[in-house]
Amino acid sequence: MKLVDQVALITGGGQGVGRAIAKTFAQEGAAISLCGRTQKSLDKAAEELSTLGGQVLTSVCDVSKEEEVIQVVDHTAERLGGLTLLVNNAGVTGPTAPIAETTLEDWNATVAVNLTGAFLCSRAALKYMIPRRRGKIINIASIAGIMAYPLRAAYSVSKWGMLGLNRTLAAELGEFNIQVNAICPGPVRGERMEGVIKRRAEELGQSEEEVARYYFASTALKKFVDPDHIAEQALLLASSAGDSMTGQVFVIDCGYAL
């Protein structure tokens, strides 16, 4: 049990990567607070986690809204006895279009959730981490934050920005014994990737099968990333094994960015 006495807030925790991380953390003894935009997905995740025997808290929250973020973080700390782990996982895929055709509304909405949301959650969590000189922040970024990503500019820029936030937080918080690291997944198996493929196929006038083959062919391992493998990396960073790591970026992409 690597996370006994830890309290973890996982944004976007009702599905996909967030849900996989929540399950892994719960199995290792952490109390879990999940937030997301829909109560239905949160309830489903909480039902699964409850079978593991630990404490589970859920909150509907839009991480781009400062008041909602502060409320969720305070509620987590009050109900679960503090906050030691924050996983900034909430994100939207944003528009699939060339920059010349991307609307300001779509751009702002993407950056608001993916980047500003991580900033707001981190800032709110530090209220509890800094005084105790204990805490870890794990930012779920993307390989889109380390390479060009045509037709997905808003998403890519938000993830590049998250990596800048990651390094700056690490530099500022080291003196308080708080570690900050990022994970950059490649194409991850699941519903979100299916949606990405569908929208890209529509924009390019190709079939979904053609686009899926493109993504597969672009990976060295010829497969999509398993969400559980991202969760295992997050566990390493959250556990004592990650106590000497900060400001780092860990790529899990099946060789997509080679």
Question: Alpha-carbon distance 72 to 64, whole Å?
Answer: 12
Does the annotation mark 149 as catalytic? no
Which of 128, 149, 155, 214 is an active site residue?
Answer: 155
CA torsion, points 185, 35, 153, 248, in degrees to nearest 10?
Answer: -40
Q: CA-to-CA distance for 139 and 42, rounded, in angstroms?
A: 20
| CA-to-CA separations, 23 to 42, 64, 125, in angstroms, rounded | 13, 25, 21
Residues carrying an active site annotation: 155
